[in-house]
Amino acid sequence: MYRCKAPTCFHRSRSLGAYANHYRLHSNEANVTFPCAVKNCARRFRTYSAFKSHVTRDHENARREGSNTVSSAPIQCQCSFCSKFLQSIKDLIAHQKDHITQGVEVTCPFNGCNSKFKIKSSFTSHLSRRHKNPANREVSSELLVHVNSQATNNTSNLSQFDGFDSGETSNNDNLENDDTQEDISELFVKNLALFYLKLNAKYHVPASTIQKIIQEMQAMHNMSQTHLKHHIKTKLGEMSVGSAVIDQIVNEFLPNDIFNLAHGNKGALSTEYRRKQFFRSKFRYVAPVTIYLGFDKNHVKRYFEYVPIIETIQELLKDAGVKKQFANPILNSDDILRDFMDGSVAKSNVLFVELGNAIKLILYQDAFEVVNPLGSAKKKHKVLAVYVTLGNIYPQNRSQIDQMQLVLLVRESDFKFFGQDAVFRILVNDLKKIEEHGVLVEKEYIRGTVTMILGDNLGSHSIGGFVENFSSSPYVCRFCLMETKNIQLGDIFDTFSQRSPDNYNANLQNVESNPDLGNYKGIKFNSIFNELKYYHVCNPGLPPCLGHDLFEGVVNYDLALYIHHFVKVNKWFTYAQFNHIVAKFKYSGSDANNKPSIISEQGSKLGGHAVQNWCLLKLLPLYIGPRVANTCDPVWQLTLLLREVVELICAPEISLAQVAHLRVKIEDIRAKSFTLS
């Protein structure tokens, strides 16, 4: 018996093929993986197609064995001196042939057949002639091992069978979990609903288009049913079945078609309204709340949408996978940095020290355009979004986009007009409740707080109350009190005073006492998130963004300069040759989805997005390695040094010794850059 490993599904399949087919009904669930159920095979797959290919390609024998036996129960040889347990009918037949070779008479193992054999070839011929049809291959009930039978059951012997559940009876009289009899209509409709939801939310297919697809699918299905009904009536008529019985048969099973039940006139998924009602009732749905802001400068009423963060956390912690990771956190006792919880900021958080199971919230904010960002509509419909992710789930899962839950949506122009307090007040009040009272989870209140607020530099400075003018302000860093002139003078190895809640508040007092200053040492106003007891923007609570700072900053400009040097000075290749090599390179895995963009001869930067630039730097030695005429060339050495620095920064884990090594490498790359410039 193959057990479905989905958290809320208790389905049992008699064969591996049926198990694989059943998992199609889970294919549209969020974050689903497809585990192989064959004994000693621990492989899991991200896509259903890869899983089905694995079963077909690598477990052909297991599928055949499953189709050769009607029951998943172990089979026991009935020879008085043997009584050996066999896993499948195929194994039993081979075992019986061994008995015949030893001169022992055996009985045909199939139900209703009492033929006995002493000659191996006769036994083989009988099986081929009389039991080739699957309908005649039902195993005799006398051979099946009944799990509840104390006389014949041996737990140690039965444990060898993959998928065998000792908590179930396995005889043919108990078929509630048989694939052919189980009512899968609810799971079928749920999977279909998830498919439509995925089309709308992930693939951005308009609701009107989805409705048209459903209508056409239903129309084709009705035509198919009409054809099937006619075919059934014809065949039953040829078998001399009476017309009344035929009508009774047709009227019995055709109306119960689950596709019709979902899409019919009153089907749960037949209209957009009904689909939305189904989503709300069957899935973990937290309804957004519309919050009134007031009148803008054009005297138009403005609102923003808020998804209650407390309810969102409650629903997340009801998920079996999230609950398991929340209850079993990864604890590191060595000096290896693997996650934010290994850093000094999290380790010094009083709430996290007091409560081992505290809820750790990671907020993320960013603005995006909902229309073409060019032309007259530029910034007109730009929206600021805030998302939340549970820091308690494991890093490999937390990095997936599906784990980010929407918290707030507001037009960026409204955010600038009405200010932080008006937009973030309701969110901060809920975060205070989480800190003071906690979130109710299974009759227990669990407290938590914000660990960090992620975003690009402009957004983080806006959230933290820092200056957003990076070109002329003397203080542009939210982590330290370095002045811009120090960068221009090249004093990049100097250590400057770190920002802290104390000097943040002291500088804030200067701004409040002298409003004409506009800002003091880079601080304009007090962030509303500083009202939280266990969070402050200068703890630090606004981490840097690798995508913008490193890959769309340093790598974007520096690597473009290096390639320009290779082309124009060293003349190792041309831009056309380089772009041809990059385009024709055989990519695999995630690199195939992030192929580097074409580099313009006139451009001063690479031009790709963050991961494209990362991919280009990572594969650069493979692109141009054979064309490097002088491996001691200082610019080539600088390129390799930059690649090494990026690998250390992006490493999934790094030791404290490697952090010190990274600092040396960064100083080295900056010193060589200044020397070459």
Q: Which long-range contacts (CB under 8 A, 24 or more apart) does 177-181 make?
A: 177/1, 177/11, 177/12, 178/14, 179/13, 179/14, 179/15, 179/18, 179/21, 179/22
Place 659 in a pLDDT band, splitting at 50, 70 and 90: very high
Could you read off the pLDDT of 77-111 as tens digits, one per residue? 877 677 777 767 777 888 888 888 888 888 888 88
- Mean pLDDT score, 446-473: 92
Could you read off the pLDDT of 360-378 as tens digits, one per residue? 999 999 998 887 766 666 7
Could you read off the pLDDT of 35-48 as tens digits, one per residue? 888 877 888 888 88
Pair 433, 414: CB distance under 8 Å: no
Pair 222, 229: CB distance under 8 Å: no
- In the prediction, which pLDDT does 86 show? 76
Pair 423, 304: CB distance under 8 Å: yes
Pair 69, 89: CB distance under 8 Å: yes
More confident residue, 144 or 449: 449
- In the prediction, which pLDDT does 180 show? 42
Please check the confidence at residue 310 and state whether its pLDDT lies above 60: yes
- In the prediction, which pLDDT does 488 show? 62
Could you read off the pLDDT of 221-278 as tens digits, one per residue? 889 888 888 888 888 888 888 888 888 887 777 677 888 888 888 889 999 999 999 9
What would the two tokens of residue 182 be? Answer: 């189980």
- In the prediction, which pLDDT does 174 show? 35
Place 168 in a pLDDT band, splitting at 50, 70 and 90: very low
Please check the confidence at residue 152 and state whether its pLDDT lies above 50: no
Query: What stretch of H or E contains 149?
Result: none
- Say what the pTM is: 0.76
Please check the confidence at residue 172 and state whether its pLDDT lies above 50: no
- Checking DSSP bridges between strand 405-411 and strand 301-306, what pairing results, if any? antiparallel
Could you read off the pLDDT of 378-412 as tens digits, one per residue? 777 889 999 999 999 998 888 888 889 999 999 99
- Give me the amino acid identity at 593: N
